[in-house]
Amino acid sequence: MSGGLPIERALEALNPDQRQAVEHVEGPLLVLAGAGSGKTRVLTCRIARLIETHGVDPGLIMAVTFTNKAAEEMRNRVRTLLGSEPSGMWIGTFHSIGARILRRHAGRIGFGPGFTILDADDSLRVIKRVMADRNVPQRWKPQAVQGFISRAKDNLVTPAGFAESAVDPFSRIVADIYPAYQARLKDGNAFDFDDLLVKPVELFESNPNVLERFQRRFQFVLVDEYQDTNHAQYRFVALLAREHGNLCVVGDDDQSIYGWRGADIRNILEFERDFAAADIIRLQRNYRSTQVILRAANRVIAENVNRKGKTLYTENESGQPITLVTAADEVDEAEWIAGTVALKVESEPDLTHRSLVVLYRTNAQSRALEEAFRDADLPYRIIGGVRFYERREIRDVIAYLKLIANPRDNSAFLRIVNYPRRGIGDSTLTALLNAAAGRGVTPLEAARAARGIDGMRPAGAKSLEAFAGMIDRYRALTAHTRVHELLAELIAELGLLESLRAEGFEGIDRAQNVEELVAAASEFDAAAALEAEDLEEVGEVTELDLFLQKVSLIADVDNLDPDADAVTLMTLHNAKGLEFPVVLISGLEEGLFPLSRSYDSLEELEEERRLFYVGITRAQKKLFLTHAMRRRRGGEWLTSSPSSFLEPIPDDLVETLETERYIERISLRRRAADRLHPWRGEVGGEAGGLVYDYSDSQDVPNLPELEEGARVRHPRFGPGTVMALDGQGTDLKAVIEFDDEGRKKVVLRYANLELE
């Protein structure tokens, strides 16, 4: 059989659990796919087998992912397995599929098909204008308002529903802004990113015939990374699969790390409750990491209570021990990491710079690392910095394209009406906006006849009319001009490259970025036909609309160049889904990782631990874990303790190192006192956890004397009963069953408990 079709060879290579998941056909299925267990292979083989073996029309299949890169990889693999293009199949992110549905049916909910997609900055700009119109006090921050509205949308809470539950002053402010913000979006024929999830659900629930059409169309729905779904995404797939029940979700509850942005781990933990008679298949064989790395990962994640439960194993080699490093401070830590990277690349021929990644909990930690890498003349790249499409000059050009595509996009109009400068000052703009509001038209429409506006200066009116004429002229070109051609002509007419280069060295870089945007538009042309697939019924949608949609949906990890020979620096969140031969995780200190704000909630603490688990399981061959004895925070040196996440890792899996600077700073007396501190045991020592006792070296605050069964009161969670105690000294924790908030694990030195 090994000489057969690609799909046959792929099936032959599957392990028994993978094959069971692939051969499952009808009914709900949850595939619990551990890190490095080959879930993409399972998903793509499952799709290919549905088509090849069971004769399912590709047009009946929808596969949903979280990144454009994952969607493209899935499509390519399915194409390879089938030997042909799976025409008609929808593969894409939640947002891109939502946008695709809305392109067809936005009219059913009061929008046009040529709508604009606002990114976070555009959305924030609209919110700021709404707040200004309502004279909201400056102490209420627009970013916070935006976050509240976004979370409300994640949970499908409408403006009216939000207002009903708004009890505190800030929530009442948001309740006033939310409906006005939505009205502004509708007036501008625009959706924000969250609307691409919310509006399809609204469409389905308010138009049963449309829902029925999509249910008939997509008889098989597959969802990747299901543990990262929020309520809106859950509702979307539940509606699609409600009639036929052919829903296959793949995910790992142990890698659910996006609760802070709306992901609900209950979606995967309670899958069997939501979809009756669901089958569950666990993929526990890991193909990525060594046995040592997996043993450590399994011990760490076993500390979590809220999980489905699985134990990863591998047939790979045992591997090198994990190296645990104590540094004097964050500068010493960064320099040690840079030196180790240089040594590894120099001494191991099979490693290049791109073989290594440095992971950290917060972006602020990258500063010391960047300086150390620059001083060591090591090539590096940061994932999570300023993204290409978020750079000022790119956003300015994109705003032109947005206004050309959608003349009702007021955010784009305001951004570029005087860029490059064309003599339109604040007074001219105010007169224009007042006139537009009075006439009930868009600012662009008012600009077309600016000379008829009372109080408008002739020079300003002339500039406005010229600007409007230019936009209208380019809009007429969109029907028959390729995006890159239109873009190049627009940039030349505006003289953007020349004006940017005149700004000096930084301006030259910005000009190169604009030129790169034209290149991106040119590359998009080849894919335009595929992007337009199934859109023949929507005649108003242009290539420009689709290009702007793609730009709006691009994620940072999608831009990770696998060929760049540089060490990658990134946060642990950005590392999800990636793998590297050598992984270094820095800053493993209490209060930093886990973050101190997670101590008050068992759910938050467990998400922090899952994040550590994700970091560990990125490593293929070698894992380094580092922490510093002290770290600057707020300009002050603060003494640090090793992270409690290190405790479960067995001693026989690790080797411990101390940097030279750390040794120099520790006196003989201090060294004697520290023997209890960082880690016990050497490689090959007795099995057991890494034990800490900080009580002799740090002042322990006055903690209440607790015992199991004691009644306590927490300042945030209210009264509760102590169920269990764990740890010692400043690391003492309590599991408390709160009367109103349920069971949570708190660290006593931060919890401010009072005995009742």
Q: Give the per-residue pLDDT at 539.
A: 53
Section 470-496 average pLDDT: 93
Determine the Cα–Cα distance for residues 651 and 654; give it in Å rounded to an integer.
Answer: 6
For residue 33, say whether it is annotated as part of any ligand binding site. Answer: yes
For residue 440, say whether it is annotated as part of any ligand binding site. Answer: no
Task: Give the number of other Cβ atoms within 10 Å of residue 270's Cβ.
Answer: 12
Q: Give the per-residue pLDDT at 627.
A: 96
Determine the Cα–Cα distance for residues 571 and 363; give it in Å rounded to an integer.
Answer: 6
Determine the Cα–Cα distance for residues 156 and 198; give it in Å rounded to an integer.
Answer: 6
**Which of 39-43, 482-486, 511-515, 557-561 bottoms out in mean pLDDT, i.e. has the lowest?**
557-561
Catalytic residue (one of 65, 215, 233, 255): 255
pTM for the complete prediction? 0.77
Q: Give the per-residue pLDDT at 383.
A: 84
Q: Give the per-residue pLDDT at 414.
A: 95
Catalytic residue (one of 20, 40, 158, 721): 40
Across-strand partners of 623?
583
Determine the Cα–Cα distance for residues 336 and 342; give it in Å rounded to an integer.
Answer: 10
Q: Which two tokens stand for residue 145?
A: 């308002």
Nearest to 333 by CA among 371, 362, 297, 296: 371
The answer to whether the beta carbons of residues 221 and 245 sit under 8 Å apart is no
Looking at residue 285, its amino acid is: R
For residue 39, say whether it is annotated as part of any ligand binding site. Answer: yes
Whether the per-residue pLDDT at 397 is higher than 90: the answer is yes
pLDDT digits (tens, 9 = 90+) for 315-366: 999 999 999 999 999 889 999 999 999 999 999 999 999 999 999 998 878 8
pLDDT digits (tens, 9 = 90+) for 705-722: 677 778 888 877 788 888
**Whether 225 is catalytic:** yes
The answer to whether the beta carbons of residues 124 and 142 sit under 8 Å apart is yes
Across-strand partners of 738?
720, 742
pLDDT digits (tens, 9 = 90+) for 44-79: 999 999 999 999 999 999 999 988 888 899 999 999
**Whether 20 is catalytic:** no
Q: Give the per-residue pLDDT at 560.
A: 57
DSSP one-letter code for 255: G
For residue 147, say whether it is annotated as part of any ligand binding site. Answer: no
Q: Give the per-residue pLDDT at 692.
A: 29
pLDDT digits (tens, 9 = 90+) for 558-592: 655 666 789 999 999 999 989 999 999 999 999 89
Section 741-747 average pLDDT: 76
Q: Give the per-residue pLDDT at 202.
A: 96
For residue 36, say whether it is annotated as part of any ligand binding site. Answer: yes
Determine the Cα–Cα distance for residues 221 and 250; give it in Å rounded to an integer.
Answer: 11
DSSP one-letter code for 559: G
> Please, what's the b/e burial string for 312-344 (b: 16 or more CB within 10 A of its CB; e: otherwise)?
bebebeebebbbbbbbbbbbbbbbbbbebbbeb
For residue 38, say whether it is annotated as part of any ligand binding site. Answer: yes
For residue 88, say whether it is annotated as part of any ligand binding site. Answer: no
Whether the per-residue pLDDT at 384 is higher than 90: the answer is no
Whether the per-residue pLDDT at 684 is higher than 60: the answer is no
Q: How many CA atoms lie within 13 Å of 361's alpha carbon, on the beta-carbon side? A: 23
Q: How confident is the model at residue 703 (pLDDT cuts 50, 70, 90)?
A: low
Whether the per-residue pLDDT at 176 is higher than 80: the answer is yes
In percent, the amount of the chain with pLDDT more than 70 equals 88
Q: Give the per-residue pLDDT at 701.
A: 44
In percent, the amount of the chain with pLDDT more than 90 equals 60
Q: Which residue has the higher pLDDT, 537 or 590?
A: 590
**Whether 8 is catalytic:** no
Q: How confident is the model at residue 19 (pLDDT cuts 50, 70, 90)?
A: very high
DSSP one-letter code for 5: -
Q: Which residue has the higher pLDDT, 517 or 29?
A: 29
Whether the per-residue pLDDT at 680 is higher than 70: the answer is no
**Whether 39 is catalytic:** yes
Catalytic residue (one of 41, 100, 618, 745): 618
Determine the Cα–Cα distance for residues 303 and 521; give it in Å rounded to an integer.
Answer: 49
Q: Which residue has the higher pLDDT, 718 or 434?
A: 434
**Which of 276-290, 446-460, 539-553 bottoms out in mean pLDDT, i.e. has the lowest?**
539-553
Q: Which residue has the higher pLDDT, 532 or 409?
A: 409
pLDDT digits (tens, 9 = 90+) for 607-654: 999 999 999 999 999 999 999 998 876 556 788 899 999 999 999 999
> Please, what's the b/e burial string for 109-127 (b: 16 or more CB within 10 A of its CB; e: otherwise)?
eebebbbbbbbeebbbbbb
Whether the per-residue pLDDT at 175 is higher than 80: the answer is yes
Whether the per-residue pLDDT at 198 is higher than 70: the answer is yes
**Whether 224 is catalytic:** yes
**Whether 184 is catalytic:** no
Q: Give the per-residue pLDDT at 499.
A: 83
Whether the per-residue pLDDT at 704 is higher than 80: the answer is no
Q: Give the per-residue pLDDT at 515.
A: 86
**Which of 24-38, 192-206, 354-368 bottoms out in mean pLDDT, i.e. has the lowest?**
354-368
Whether the per-residue pLDDT at 537 is higher than 50: the answer is no
- Average pLDDT over the chain reads 86
For residue 245, say whether it is annotated as part of any ligand binding site. Answer: no
Catalytic residue (one of 17, 18, 39, 104): 39
Section 659-670 average pLDDT: 73
Catalytic residue (one of 119, 154, 194, 224): 224
Whether the per-residue pLDDT at 694 is higher than 90: the answer is no
